[in-house]
Amino acid sequence: MADTIPFDPATLAWDKQDGLLPAIVQDADTLRVLMLGYMDHDALAATLASDRVTFFSRSRQRLWTKGESSGHGLALVAIEADCDADTLLVRARPAGPTCHTGAVSCFPTAPADSVAALDGVVARRVADAPEGSYTRRLLDAGIARIAQKVGEEGVETALAAVTADDAALRGEAADLVYHLLVLLRARGLAWDDVRAELARRAAG
């Protein structure tokens, strides 16, 4: 189930736009803005009841659940209203591309957390165990071997920094992050856990 909404739907400013509120959809993991839709009372209620993001289609004049024809739905994670109670921010996990063009987002250059995106790839490798996957081989080798690789990549990253080789430093840092994500997954953790810890420290 999605997080409890921190507002009463009855208090939203439905009257500002003839009973419709803009709903900005953001990927709950990568934080990329995916699309903009509109919700009325019924669309919001359907979204909360089903945990599947539903909009009011202005062109069809009816409720429309994202993915009802394409299969590329949006699983609700959380939803909140802005300070004026006239816009919604919907955090969701997409099943496939969100845009009708086949793109991940309706906004081609919308920024995203690339580490979270890579963590999603690692998670899929963990779940699917594809033949020949390096990630799978690492996991099969066990936590000690993965931890050793993190150590090796950390040393190589430090050496690249000391030798002032920026291209090597970028590459080694990327290798270090990848192996760290695999180690986290091997321990049942995810990048989001680290992101939450960083947020806690920044707030402290």
Stated pTM of the model: 0.81
Cα distance between residue 39 and residue 87, in whole Å: 9
pLDDT band at 204 (very low <50, low <70, confident <90, very high): confident
Give the mean model confidence (pLDDT) for residues 124-152: 92
pLDDT confidence band for 2 (50 / 70 / 90): low
Q: Reading across the β-sheet that carries 21-27, which strands appear in turn?
A: 33-39, 21-27, 88-94, 74-81
pLDDT in tens, 48-80: 999 999 999 999 999 999 999 899 999 999 999
Q: Which residues contact 27 (CB under 8 A, 6 or more apart)?
A: 33, 34, 91, 92, 93, 94, 112
Neighbours of 85 (CB within 10 A): 16
Q: How many Cβ atoms from other residues are within 10 Å of residue 84's Cβ?
A: 9
User: What's the pLDDT at 116?
Assistant: 94
Mean pLDDT of the chain: 93
How does pLDDT run across 99-126, given as a tens digit for each residue?
999 999 999 999 999 999 999 999 999 8
Whether the predicted pLDDT of 1 surpasses 60? no
Which domains are seen in the chain, by residue range? 9-94 (3.10.20.810), 114-203 (1.10.287.1080)
Give the pLDDT mean for 166-192: 96
Contact of 13 with 19, CB cutoff 8 Å: no
Q: Is the pLDDT of residue 36 over 90?
A: yes
